[in-house]
Amino acid sequence: MTYREERQMKIGFIGLGIMGKPMAKNLLKHGYAVIVNDINEQSVGELVQAGAASEVSPQAVARESDIMITMLPNNEIVRSVILGDNGIAQGAKSGSVVVDMSSTSPVVVREIAARLQEQGIPMLDAPVSGGEPKAIDGTLSIMVGGDEAAFERVKPVLACMGKDVVRVGASGSGATAKLANQIIVNVNIAAMSEALVLAAKAGIDIEKMYEAIRGGLAGSAVLDAKVPMIVERNFKAGGRIDINLKDLTNVMETAESLAVPLPLTAHVKHVFETLKEAGKQADDHCGVVQYYENLAGTIVQKSR
């Protein structure tokens, strides 16, 4: 396929939330014709203003698109948008590809992929990591499961939204890799939060401590992204607590089906549940520090 032919493909994009909106904008910036759909009319209007077309339903988007991308909050919505009434499956044409970039359970992914395959439509599971900042600048990590030929076809599209685009294996592999990613990220944030609360209670300068440890083995992308937010008391979500709780719920269900004990993940899931019950569900997941602050009776913040 030539560059010109590739850019003539129409991309359907369903789900214009914190992550989906900037991802769709990056496709427009790279010259693709993008057709969007979302229940949030303001987000749809913003994309139309940026050059996208819009349709009234996922089915209508699928009729007009060569590749359909979904970026949605949970398993039930993904299943409904793809397989439900006025869903993608009812409008998808032969030769098209469905790419679910949501954080979806591997079991649900394989179920939907099997249903679409009956219509001769391949589906890729291609969840992402990197949060809103990397969605905005187009440098997400994208882990993909599914048919290799379908992957090669959509890889140039995915490369407009991500820096590292890797096919992990067969259907469900991308979703499984994302679950592993979410364990590492969220357990890391919880461990970092414990450390920051200990240091704060001891009365040392948190920013100086961060400067001292970030170049050593404790340094990480999580540390660099989240410590500045915590000391500024900035819990504006790039990755919401309730969305990450949903991911950890998928992790634990998958682990149970495989008889894999995950004690650290189980604890962090409990912490997220506690914060959600306290009304913190819309906070960024670095807001997990508030759980440990409440236990210790201290606040992690800049030295005065």
Strand boundaries in 88-181, DSSP class E: 97-100, 123-125, 128-129, 140-145, 162-169
- Cα gap 139→168, rounded to integer Å: 18
DSSP assigned state of 92: P
- Cα gap 101→129, rounded to integer Å: 10
Residue with tokens 């209508």: 60
- Cα gap 174→124, rounded to integer Å: 8
Alpha carbon of residue 160 to chain centroid: 16
* Residue partners of 158: CB distance under 8 A and separation at least 6: 99, 126, 142, 144, 165
Residue with tokens 């913040």: 301
| Rg (alpha carbons) of the chain, rounded to whole number | 20
Query: Is residue 201 annotated as part of the catalytic site, yes or no?
Result: no
Annotated active-site residue in 178, 226, 269, 280: 178
Q: Token pair of 143, please?
A: 């882990």
* Residue partners of 274: CB distance under 8 A and separation at least 6: 291
Q: Token pair of 96, please?
A: 């098209």
Contact 214, 291 (CB under 8 A): no
* Residue partners of 42: CB distance under 8 A and separation at least 6: none
Catalytic sites, residue numbers: 178
